Structure 1
Amino acid sequence: MTIVGVGLIGGSIGLALKSRGLADRVIGLGRDTERLDEAKRLGTIDEGTTELHDAVDQADIVVVCTPTDRIADDVRRLAAASRPEVLITDAGSTKRRIVDAVERDDRARRVFVGAHPLAGSERRGAAASRADLLDGRVCALTPTNRTPSDRFSRAESFWSAIGCRTVTLDPDAHDEALARTSHLPHVVAAALALSIPAEHLSLAAGAYRDGTRVAASDPDLWVAIFLENPEHLRSALEDFQETLDRFKDALQRGDRDELRSLWSDAKALRGRFDPPPRH
């Protein structure tokens, strides 16, 4: 088993594999030997390397956990160096551009199944990894009509084995949904954090903490995600702006009924949300 990019998600996958006895050997592939050494000390991998061929020449499964804008290139390089029977899957937060790019490479297309485990944290790095991070979490698999059925079955079994509940989506349908359920909330959290003057933070409490938590995430990671899904994110932002305008207009008119209606509708919709397990 090879994990490419042993950060929070990659490290948690490694811990899940090891705690469940699912891999004889877990190899981490990265570009920073110090981070790989740390991941090994933390027990997320058995060994680390910066050499691609050393990492994949015996791998049965390769999981790519690199930044979203690098995944397609990484998959193509890994496919060229791996055994023909390998399964390559990923953990990217966007899917359409990744899948489209991979499928233009015939070798990569035959071994790849796009995936997105819906788990994470504002923390980063192998030190934040948890063996139970993926337990009960949804993992979206995004095959196309060109995805080999045997690779899809193996990908479904792999993600299920480490604790995920798998669902299957078209890559573009995945990106449209995640633009609203994940990417938009991250933009909103950042915008909210930017809207509070520093001198008022001493008066901030739970609402500020909960509303801005994900604004503490890695900027480079989220910029890459936003730019990989710009069309759907722009559409989500336009709809969100319309809702903000409804609140603003109701305030300007002093319209108690409209404000109450907006809040009641929001409360009812929020009540239908079944939150994932917290670890």
Structure 2
Amino acid sequence: MSIQITILGLGRIGASAGLALGRHSNQVERTGFDYQNAIAMQAKKIDAVDRIEVNLPDSVKQADVVVLTLPLNKVRETLKTIAPNVREGAVILDTSPAKESVAAWVKELFPTKRYYVGINPLLNPLYLADQDESIESATADLFENGSMAIAAPEGTSGEAITLAANLSGLLGASPFFCDLAEMDGLTAFTHLLPQLVSTALLNATLDQPGWRDGSKFAGSDYAAASSSIAGHEESASLCAAALLNKTHLLRSLEATLAALYGLRDDIENDQGEQLESLLEHARVGRAQWWNERHKLASQANELQSAGMPKAGDFWKQQVGFFSRLSGTRPPKREKKD
């Protein structure tokens, strides 16, 4: 007996989740769907899924867990399409950067007894500098020694949240819990803001009269500072995330503008001591964050070893879970070729 997991969206995150879950093939059966059939076929080729489904509604009919790893601008329409086909007791997990909005869509579009839990993977530190979000960068250890932020609407079944936490363990991540607004706030200044700052840098320089020559001078510093916009969401998805996460993001943008104006004022007024202090504060702070991020990974690995369920116990911990949520017995399934 295995849990049926459908992954919608087979880019780096979705395919990596499939690869990690593939190490527990006696526990889960993986169905994959992607709007680009070539990507779905590639996911099957690298064994990120057991089977692919080209029909979106059909892909979720038998799912115990539906995992959305899609660009945000595709999430609402996808939810609307699959809502009639998601069975009672199913848990819907979502990695998009606007959890409050997605939770509201699920409540609006789905019948009762379908349970939404927002997740946000904090990746293995080995891959912190990797900006490529395509399936070519998928790897089974993407989540190892990392954490999984988990948030759910008020009143969500504790068993649905527990399932998300246990599934995080199968991926190699340690869960931590927050509420939807907190997750959106953290996402705004750690995920969305860097992409908008990269956008501002690029738009401020690409159209300058001297860019033809400047492009030859631009090196590693420019590449690093502009890289956040390079490999993440499609522009339409980033736009949707910025607008849906407006309140939190505007607060972060205001703080960033204040910091930039502070640097500008110190430069204009020849405040060398103050300017150097700000630069050093940033340099030291970045180094501390980098070291702490790797230290947290080590602690997460210890927690994973000590407290998280073993892979072989995962299904045992879910026995009765879906029957309690849906009021029916979980069907027996044979693994498909």
TM-score > 0.5 by shorter chain: yes
Q: Would you say 1:209 and 2:218 are equivalent positions?
A: no
In 2, are the aligned partners of 1:4 and 1:28 still within 8 Å (CA)? yes
Partner of 1:239: 255
Is residue 2:139 matched to residue 1:135? no
Residue deviations 1:58-107 (CA, integer Å, cap 9, x gap): 22221011222333453454343123232221111221111122233563
Cα gap change, 1:32 to 1:182, in 2 (>3 Å): closer
In 1, the alpha carbon distance for the partners of 2:220 and 2:272 equals 25
Q: TM-score, normalised by structure 1?
A: 0.89
Partner of 2:264: 248
1:8 aligns with 2:16: no
1:275 aligns with 2:293: yes
Q: Residues 156-188 of structure 1, C-alpha deviation per residue, up to 9 Å, x if partnerless?
A: 111222012222111111111221111111111
The 3-state SS of whatever aligns with 1:113 is strand
Q: Name the counterpart of 1:169.
A: 178
Partner of 1:59: helix, strand, or coil?
Answer: coil
Distance 1:55 1:18, change over 3 A: same
Q: Secondary structure at the match of 1:25?
A: strand
2:197 paired residue number: 188
Shift of 1:243: 0.6
Whether the 8 Å CA contact 2:79–2:109 is kept in 1: the answer is no
Name the larger-Rg structure: 2
Residue 94 of structure 2 is aligned to residue 90 of structure 1 = yes
Counterpart-to-counterpart distance in 1, 2:147 and 2:75: 20
Corresponding residue SS for 1:272: helix
Aligned identity (percent) is 25
How far off its partner does 1:43 sit?
1.9
User: Quick check: 1:219 aligned with 2:223?
Assistant: no
Amino acid at match of 1:275: R
SS of the aligned residue for 1:141 comes to strand
What CA deviation, in whole Å up to 9, does each residue of 1:122-175 have, x standing for no partner?
323322211111112222111122211111110111122201222211111111
The answer to whether structure 1 residue 266 and structure 2 residue 275 are counterparts is no
Residues paired across the two proteins, number: 277
Would the aligned equivalents of 1:17 and 1:162 in 2 still touch at CA under 8 Å?
yes
Alpha-carbon offset, residue 198 of structure 1: 4.2
Report how far residue 53 of structure 1 moved.
4.1
Q: For the structure 1 residues 136 and 93, does the alpha-carbon distance in structure 2 shift closer, same or farther, using more than 3 Å as the test?
A: farther
Alignment match, 1:35: 39
- Judged with a 3 Å threshold, the aligned counterparts in structure 2 of structure 1 residues 35 and 241 are, in CA distance, closer, same or farther, namely same
> What stretches of structure 2 of length at least 5 have no aligned partner?
206-210, 298-337
Q: Which moved more, 1:50-59 or 1:93-102?
A: 50-59
Alignment-mate amino acid for residue 116 of structure 1:
N
The CA distance in 2 between the partners of 1:100 and 1:57, in whole Å, is 22
3-state secondary structure, aligned to 1:258: helix
Structure 1 residue runs of 5 or longer lacking an equivalent are none
> Cα RMSD over matched residues?
2.3
Q: Does 1:157 align with 2:166?
A: yes
- Given the two structures, how large is their TM-score scaled by the length of structure 2? 0.75
* One-letter amino acid of the counterpart of residue 248, structure 1: R
Q: Amino acid of the residue matched to residue 19 of structure 2?
A: L
Q: CA deviation at 1:228?
A: 2.1
Highest relative contact order (Cα 8 Å, sep 6+), 1 or 2?
2
Residue type of the alignment partner of 1:11: A
Between 146-155 and 211-220, the greater mean CA deviation after superposition: 211-220
1:176–1:24 distance in 2 versus 1, CA, 3 Å: closer
Structure 1 residues 32, 271: closer, same or farther in 2, change over 3 A? closer
Gap change, CA 1:93 and 1:210, over 3 Å in 2: same
Q: Partners in 2 of 1:90 and 1:148 — Cα distance?
A: 16
Equivalents in 1 of 2:11, 2:150: separation in Å? 21
| Superposition deviation, residue 246 in structure 1 | 0.7
In 2, the alpha carbon distance for the partners of 1:95 and 1:24 equals 26
